[in-house]
Structure 1
Amino acid sequence: MNTQQQRSTLFHGGTVWPGKGLGDTHALLVRDGLIAALGTDAVQQAKDIDHEAIDLDGGFLMPGFGEGHSHPIHGGLENYGPKLVGLASVEAIVAEVRRYAEENPDEEWIQGVAYNGSLAEGGLFDARWLDEGVSDRPVVLRGWDGHTLWCNSEALRRASITKDTPEPEMGEIPRRADGEPLGVLREWGALDLMAAVCPPPAFEVRLNALATALDMFSSFGITWAQESWAELDNYKVYIEAARRGLLKVRMNIALIADPRHFPGSLQEMLAAREEVRALNHPNLTFNTIKFFADGVIENETASLLDPYCTVEHHGMRIWEPAELSKAVAAVRAEGFQPYIHAIGDDAVRISLDAMEHSAHFTDAAAARPVVTHVQLASDKDLARFAELGVVANMQPLWAQLDALMTVLTIPRLGRERADTQYKTRTLAESGARLAFGSDWPASSADPREGIAIAASRTTTDGDPDGGWVPEQIIGIEDALDIYTRGTAFQGFADAHPAPWGTLAPGHSADLVWLGQDPRTAAPAELPGNPVIATYLAGQATYANDNVNEYVNDSDHEGQPSHVAQ
């Protein structure tokens, strides 16, 4: 390509952070979507070519953040239906459901997502509370954990869930003293009873929800994300988004392996992968199969080695160990990356056992297995991550004494066991590969908030002083490294012709420009560090209102065409 035809941009006037241990510099040159040079070399090369010059104004340019565990379609649906996020009481939720129903009289089903599960004792919400808001139409609300539904009486009636309904396989129906269903459904088997009658959001609604989510990701500086729970009918939403040019974030899809349908569903997964590959879109891959080893502690369905303090059982295994090992081997044999949800210490153990039993599959994605969450794990099993080459994908925002922890989690585990959760630093020092994600909409997708918690283990109010389990605190630069290089490794960036996750010549210009150097701030200040702009392969996918103030037009004619307006 002729030099004059290439799009070239010189970033200067601030700190350029290529990655941990790579040394700060002061300039970066992008040519046709790739990093051409850094530092003095960047400035020298720019002198000989037509280019845009962007003054960082003392800001901080770094690799784009990765989002190693998220549910963009589900999260984007927060903007459709009742607005439940941030509501702090049952009464507020009921009032919002009533408001939405009155403003949308033609909607047969009222559906909403991400209500706060800590607002009712034990997470047990009553159908009759929702009836006070809407009783003549079914209401179905998904909890922030993604494992729980709260339904009104009409929704239970439509699903034929009564006192005579048996407990479903891999699910739970909490009941009143007389045996009638309370209004909460927990885990797959119970949720499926409602899904059988409750229509999913329309395709265009899901597509718009995805586009909204990716806009949000870009505004947070995210340039790669893992879709961690795509049903077979949702992978087509990603394909359509790619065709319409909506994928402003690199996305990797994970389809769900349900033990009730596997291995029969494997052929559908293979066909879906071929459809994604045939599209050949640079921002869309399908490399991963997601397994659930257990549920969540808040529902007492996470699988524990020792029983819960509140009930005399150990939780729920979604897969029995032998079947999980067999299924993981089957997907690795097909070249998929296995990705296992494991919350409890028993679930982590059987997940690692499955990885160990299938470790002979070393081709392509199969060689990069992931266990996500790792909320509880024995020290013996934590050491196995490095030994087996298993990526630990963790959610740093969860390592704090918020309402979810104090109201729902600690009472079920007891204080002593609760203080062994989220051993981020132990894993990092063991040599294990770490990646960070949010599990949005279960928690905020903003990496700045995740870094703040990882580097402090305190709430936004600074509680407790010195941090919860402070020996597990990691440094801000370490957290930046996990959010960039760590997630890039999980996402196979190193196998891409133009890698991302660090800044080096030949790498894709996937960048985030922050207002200040985050390494010099107190953790509590990090969420307020502004994202000035985000770039994917050199193209601006997000720019705040003031970004044009930083563009120096002296080296080129007119407004830079790739700066988002």
Structure 2
Amino acid sequence: MTTQHFHNGTIWLGASAEPADSLVVRDGVVVATDSLAVSSELARITNQDDAAFESIDLEGRFLMPSFGDGHAHPIFGGLEAEGPQVRSCTSIEEIIAEVKRYAEAHPDDDWITGASYDGSLASDGLFDAEWLDRAVPDRPVVLRAWDYHTVWCNSRALELAGITAETPEPQIGEIPRRDNGSPLGTLREWGAVDLIEAVRSPLHESTRLRALDRAAEYYLARGVTWVQDAWVEPADVETYVSASQQNRLKLRFNLAFYADPRRVTQQLPEMLAARQRIDDLSDPFLTAQTVKFFADGVIENETGSLIEPYCTSLHNHGMQVWEGDSLAEAVRMVDSAGFQIHIHAIGDAAVRQALDAIEYTVQKNGVHDRRPVIAHAQIIDSADLSRFAELGVIANMQPLWAQLDDLMTVLTVPRIGSERALAQYRMRSVLDSGGHLSFGSDWPCTSGTPVKGLAVAVSRQNNEGEPDGGWTPEEILDVERSLDAYTATVAYQAFAENGSEAWGAIRPGASADFIVLDRDPRTLPPQELSATPVRRTYLRGVAVHSAD
């Protein structure tokens, strides 16, 4: 039996509890947090001369529940280290040079693939195949954009995929074209991207496992011990199962199977079989209880679904992935099979469609503890705010996005106009209306570092501290509500607030999933909070990351 005594620091138990100054953990489970219970446990250990006792001096630091990430793509994130390193490139010429460098260093690679480039570097986010041809003319090149809804290909990749001037516009996708009808080289959304995926060489399983290992190390260094993988396809299931069987899972993952509107009825038996396969592993670090739906795309390429049209066109309302009542019926079907619902909805029309689908499901399937999630909810119409609480919907938002960065000023605001721009990321409004708010990162689309998201949530400012007073200051959250959205509410989203594997708050009976920070985040200005490192991460009482 192993017992740990954490002391000499500030211990934040959660938003609804007074901080403690010490706690006791036994075999990875919290057993005492109040002073009397801690004293009793320490006396018992002294009387029994417990040889496996560890006294952990926090040295005045701040201990709190570990973070959860309510919406991310860990395998995608881990794969960014493979292929040309284009994320840090600040110009098209830099990207081309990096692709050329990588191709010359890897002459045996049949395909050159990488991620993720900055979509704001080209006008309207449109990138030309001929630019990549200058780097690699004879092998296919495919780069994913930061949004993971868009790819940029060279001419050889388009040729192998059979994408020509005669190729019809795909369902759920777009092929931007030149004036003569030939494909430009940018492909948007799944229907178009799938044309490339159908001919691209699959990644070796060892590469995918390496990516998952890399993602785990990335997250643990940032204090994250549970991740919602929000886009899981059959190959991903194989990777997670292999990782579990090889005892390579280093933190908790829940899988959300991707629901394709073109074949969701055929997918459901596959999802059920995959869930059973994962349940049979009995791995406490791996669950598969969720199904992911896309209601729309993203505003930056005008595929986010809006009630009112984009500023660039009187008739362009974006892309509705599921037509008519098909989303509602698919959600009802998946809910009947016992899956949690997780819907990507960016625009206000998509958010309304997602809420309508959940309301329909409640009416048809009855009331139960389903905890549906609407991810991103970038624009919520005021008429729909109260429906989150009424329907028990969790709004999973990415706080890092709620700032005036280049993405917002260059791509977003010009498309939706200043009035709608001010109605984005209504985090405080969701909470004030009685709804649940959990936080996520959407990593690798943006940083998966929770303290960076916290800094924006409590200030609505960018790295330079602009604008003064915060952008849309009425949506600023206090730090405790922000911490809660990254801990207890993500645990609630994960159905993980009870039992021996409970996490998200520090209380007797919960798993000892903690992080240690140098300073109390409740006292730090946003810019210092953003740069605060995680000194240690504990999972089940084991220090799985240490920067000391």
The Cα of 1:397 is off from its aligned counterpart by 0.6
CA distance in 2, matches of 1:474, 1:83: 35
The Cα of 1:46 is off from its aligned counterpart by 2.2
> Which residue pairs with 1:67 in the alignment?
69
Deviates more, 1:382-391 or 1:526-535: 526-535
Conserved 8 A contact 1:29-1:43: no
> What is the SS of the residue equivalent to 1:28?
strand
CA distance in 1, matches of 2:184, 2:56: 59
2:431 is equivalent to residue 428 of structure 1: yes
Conserved 8 A contact 1:214-1:249: yes
Residue pairs, 1:348-427, within 5 angstroms: 348-360=351-363, 361=365, 367-427=370-430
The Cα of 1:495 is off from its aligned counterpart by 4.6
1:130 aligned to 129, 132, 139, which one? Answer: 132
Structure 1 runs (4+) deviating above 4 angstroms are none
> What is the SS of the residue equivalent to 2:101?
helix
> Which residue pairs with 1:437 in the alignment?
440
> Which residue pairs with 1:33 in the alignment?
28
CA distance in 1, matches of 2:324, 2:241: 34
The Cα of 1:43 is off from its aligned counterpart by 4.1
The Cα of 1:496 is off from its aligned counterpart by 3.8
> Which residue pairs with 1:8 in the alignment?
3
Residue pairs, 1:429-508, within 5 angstroms: 429-508=432-511
* TM-score, with length taken from structure 2: 0.97
CA distance in 2, matches of 1:42, 1:219: 29
> What is the SS of the residue equivalent to 2:8?
strand
> What is the SS of the residue equivalent to 1:414?
helix
The Cα of 1:524 is off from its aligned counterpart by 1.1
> Which residue pairs with 1:181 in the alignment?
183
> Which residue pairs with 1:290 in the alignment?
292
Q: For the structure 1 residues 526 and 264, does the alpha-carbon distance in structure 2 shift closer, same or farther, using more than 3 Å as the test?
A: same
The letter for the 1-side match of 2:123 is: E
> Which residue pairs with 1:208 in the alignment?
210
> Which residue pairs with 1:236 in the alignment?
238
2:91 aligned to 77, 89, 92, which one? Answer: 89
The letter for the 2-side match of 1:180 is: S
2:49 is equivalent to residue 53 of structure 1: no
CA distance in 1, matches of 2:391, 2:351: 13
> Which residue pairs with 1:19 in the alignment?
14
CA distance in 1, matches of 2:531, 2:42: 33
The Cα of 1:539 is off from its aligned counterpart by 1.4
> What is the SS of the residue equivalent to 1:525?
helix
> Which residue pairs with 1:557 in the alignment?
none
Q: For the structure 1 residues 89 and 47, does the alpha-carbon distance in structure 2 shift closer, same or farther, using more than 3 Å as the test?
A: farther
Q: Deviations over 1:226-274 (max 9, x none)?
A: 0000112211211111122222211100001101011111000000000
The Cα of 1:178 is off from its aligned counterpart by 1.4
> What is the SS of the residue equivalent to 1:156?
helix
> What is the SS of the residue equivalent to 2:362?
coil
> Which residue pairs with 1:562 in the alignment?
none
The Cα of 1:498 is off from its aligned counterpart by 3.4
CA distance in 2, matches of 1:243, 1:525: 41
Conserved 8 A contact 2:514-2:538: yes
CA distance in 2, matches of 1:200, 1:84: 21
2:38 is equivalent to residue 42 of structure 1: yes
Conserved 8 A contact 1:383-1:430: yes
2:323 is equivalent to residue 327 of structure 1: no
> What is the SS of the residue equivalent to 2:487?
helix
> Which residue pairs with 1:266 in the alignment?
268
The Cα of 1:363 is off from its aligned counterpart by 7.8
> What is the SS of the residue equivalent to 1:13?
strand
CA distance in 2, matches of 1:219, 1:43: 32
CA distance in 2, matches of 1:494, 1:320: 36
1:515 aligned to 499, 518, 521, which one? Answer: 518
Deviates more, 1:460-469 or 1:98-107: 460-469
> Which residue pairs with 1:193 in the alignment?
195
The letter for the 1-side match of 2:304 is: A
CA distance in 2, matches of 1:431, 1:201: 45
2:540 is equivalent to residue 537 of structure 1: yes
Conserved 8 A contact 2:452-2:531: no
Deviates more, 1:195-204 or 1:205-214: 195-204
CA distance in 2, matches of 1:407, 1:539: 44
2:283 aligned to 268, 274, 281, which one? Answer: 281
> What is the SS of the residue equivalent to 1:92?
helix
Conserved 8 A contact 2:498-2:510: no
The Cα of 1:494 is off from its aligned counterpart by 2.4
CA distance in 1, matches of 2:501, 2:104: 51
Conserved 8 A contact 1:335-1:363: no
CA distance in 2, matches of 1:57, 1:176: 63
Q: For the structure 1 residues 476 and 89, does the alpha-carbon distance in structure 2 shift closer, same or farther, using more than 3 Å as the test?
A: same
Q: Deviations over 1:22-54 (max 9, x none)?
A: 001100111001001014222441243231011
2:166 aligned to 160, 164, 167, which one? Answer: 164
CA distance in 1, matches of 2:498, 2:340: 14
> What is the SS of the residue equivalent to 2:350?
helix
> What is the SS of the residue equivalent to 2:235?
coil
The letter for the 1-side match of 2:282 is: N
> Which residue pairs with 2:147 in the alignment?
145
> Which residue pairs with 2:311 in the alignment?
309
The Cα of 1:522 is off from its aligned counterpart by 0.4
CA distance in 2, matches of 1:197, 1:467: 47
Q: Which runs of 5+ in 1 are unaligned?
A: 1-5, 547-565
Q: How many residues align?
A: 539
Percent identical residues:
53
The letter for the 2-side match of 1:220 is: R
The letter for the 1-side match of 2:186 is: V
Conserved 8 A contact 1:27-1:43: no
Deviates more, 1:510-519 or 1:494-503: 494-503
CA distance in 1, matches of 2:40, 2:63: 19
The letter for the 2-side match of 1:309 is: C
The Cα of 1:527 is off from its aligned counterpart by 2.2
> Which residue pairs with 1:247 in the alignment?
249
> Which residue pairs with 1:344 in the alignment?
347
> Which residue pairs with 1:563 in the alignment?
none
The letter for the 1-side match of 2:112 is: I
> What is the SS of the residue equivalent to 1:19?
coil
> What is the SS of the residue equivalent to 2:390?
helix
> What is the SS of the residue equivalent to 2:264?
coil
Conserved 8 A contact 1:345-1:376: yes
The Cα of 1:362 is off from its aligned counterpart by 5.9
Q: Deviations over 1:393-424 (max 9, x none)?
A: 00001111111111111110011111111101
Deviates more, 1:77-86 or 1:274-283: 77-86
Q: Which runs of 5+ in 2 are unaligned?
A: none
CA distance in 2, matches of 1:46, 1:152: 66
CA distance in 2, matches of 1:498, 1:249: 12
The letter for the 2-side match of 1:304 is: L
Conserved 8 A contact 2:518-2:534: yes
Q: Deviations over 1:503-541 (max 9, x none)?
A: 100111011111110000001111222211111111111
